[in-house]
Homo-oligomer: A and B are copies of this chain.
Amino acid sequence: MIYADANGSLPPLPEVRAHVKKRLDSALWANPTAIHSLGGKLKAGLERCRAMVADTLGADPAHVVWNSGSSEGLSTVIRSVLLPAGKRRVLYRAGIEHAVVAAAFAELVRVWNYEERLIPVDADGLADVAWLERELRALGGDAAMVALMAANNETGVIQPWQRTSELCRASGVPFLCDTTAWIGRLPFHFLNSGLDWAFVPGHKLGALPGSGCLLARSPGDLRPLVWGGGQEEGVRGGTGNYLGAESLAIAVQALPAKLAHAEAHVRWRAELEAALPAGCVVIGQRHLRAPGTTLIGYPGLHGQAVQIELEALDIFVTTSAACSDNEPATSKVLRAMGVHDDLGRSVVRISLPLTATQADYRAIAMALPAVYERLCRIGHC
């Protein structure tokens, strides 16, 4: 099996599986804030995991807030910064943002009277930060938040988030940078990033589903999304998911070794893309992209047909992000880029984990032309 849906979810790493198996045989299960020694050991373990995650991601342990993943982290920051609403009413986001931010802003507009403005993106999915700069200058002090993801989850295109971050800081506007598709693909150092918040998705790094953390420069400035009994310094209630945190610490610690292969993945992807038959379009190819991801279309075909044919060859891809998979239409990300339906409906997203090999890329490069030819032959294009 070639699993090429790492942007959707990464199966638990072998070292995570080994740890969880060992844990299942142990007697160390309890409430980590309980007063007895089982609780004490689990709490100490949570703190060790916190230090491990912080150390690898360039943060202070106090910056780490355990939660259930990126969607929760984004929701926490958005609510905390924007509710109750202050005088600033304009929200900026690119149309290529993840569904969490899109849904959040839609509710803030509908229920809380915010106004949303979309940062334009070019045909290859890069946000226009110069436009944003002009907007912020013209708007004065009415911008409540700017959201721009670090790397796009469908195209892999790396966004100008550092420049946007500096711009927002200079303008005094909170900047929400969704780091979900970046961490795990590219080096990340929280303190050096200049970001106020970062989002670490456990299940996309090979930790257990339902694990994750938020990094926050000033966690004390956040109000809890999930209320509780003072866990996580009062920022996130609920009994600590210590098993999830343990798995996340292991997965995060495995990152540097995996990132060492990133450059090879960029080369292997280029080889794959160069081998594509005429008529194929690689969306976002003009820009720097996170390694491992390529979004390939063949106008006239249906992406789902391509996906099914690839699956018959034991290659698992998707047509877009999982959260919009069930739409048999051009994804919102591609629509925001102005991609026509003829191309938009035809794409498959290949997102190989950084543990994939050159042989995996080559197998896909071999498979795709055959799949396209077969589908064209039976009249799909």
Contacts and interface: CB of A to CB of B under 8 A. Distances in A.
Contacts of A3: 30
Which among A17, A27, A30, A70 has the highest number of chain B CB atoms within 10 Å?
A: A30
A170 interface: no
Given A24-B21, A30-B8, A35 B238 contact: no
Contact of A224 (B103, B237, B316, B323): B103
A20 B17 CA distance: 10
Contacts of A95: none
Interface in A178-194: none
B99 A229 contact: yes
A9 B30 contact: yes
Query: Within the oligomer, what is the number of copies of this chain?
Result: 2
A318 B228 contact: no
Contact of A241 (B84, B209, B240): B209
B24 A8 contact: no
Given A69-B239, A209-B244, A75 B225 contact: yes
Interface in A255-272: none
A375 B186 CA distance: 58
Interface of A: 1, 3, 5, 8-9, 11-12, 17, 20-21, 24, 27, 29-31, 33-39, 68-72, 74-75, 78, 83-84, 98-101, 103-104, 107, 111-112, 201, 203, 208-211, 223-231, 237-244, 304, 307, 311, 316-319, 321-326
B21 A8 contact: no
A316 B69 contact: no
B12 A237 contact: no
A226 B31 contact: no
Contact of A20 (B24, B35, B37): B24
A104 B225 CA distance: 10
A69 B227 CA distance: 12
A166 B224 CA distance: 32
Nearest to A223: B107
Contacts of A31: 5, 8-9, 203, 322
